[in-house]
Structures are given as C-alpha cells and as structure tokens.
Amino acid sequence: MQGNVACQKQIMPDNQTMSAREILLEEIKRQPEPVVREVLHFLKFLERQHAPENWADVLPSREVEQEKLDILDGK
C-alpha cells in the first residue's frame, strides 16, 4: 500500500530498526481505549475495502460472467 510520502516522513520516525507494524503497536499502546476502538473500526473498514482486491486475480470479471449468462440464455 503506497501513501503520501510527505505524510509518511512526518508519521514514520527515522528509526529503521522498527517496522511499521511495531511502530503502530507501540503507538496504540499509548492511546486511550476510545481511540483504540476507533483504530480497530478503521482497520476492519480497510480490510473490507481491500477484500475484493485480494480475489481480483482469481474471480472472473463481470464481462466473463455476462458471457456465461448469455450462453446459458441462448443469445
């Protein structure tokens, strides 16, 4: 996932020894419960947004589906 490089420089410290996951976990540990819940909700939202992309190379396209329907309908 690529983001705005300017934003990444502001958010990500120059510490190259920690991964983004480690930095995120450390930051979450310092937040109050309501903020952690919002982060969780946002993560679930992002998972739902990316779910169709994960299957895009496996699932047939809409055009292929329509061709199958046309064949079945005798068109």
pLDDT in tens, 12-25: 656 568 899 999 99
Asked if pLDDT for residue 64 goes beyond 50, the answer is yes
CB 24 within 8 A of CB 13: no
This prediction has a pTM of 0.49
Asked if pLDDT for residue 5 goes beyond 90, the answer is no
How confident is the prediction for the chain on average, in pLDDT? 78
Alpha-carbon Rg for the chain, nearest whole angstrom, is 21
pLDDT for residue 23: 93
Asked if pLDDT for residue 6 goes beyond 60, the answer is no
Asked if pLDDT for residue 69 goes beyond 60, the answer is yes
CB 13 within 8 A of CB 23: yes
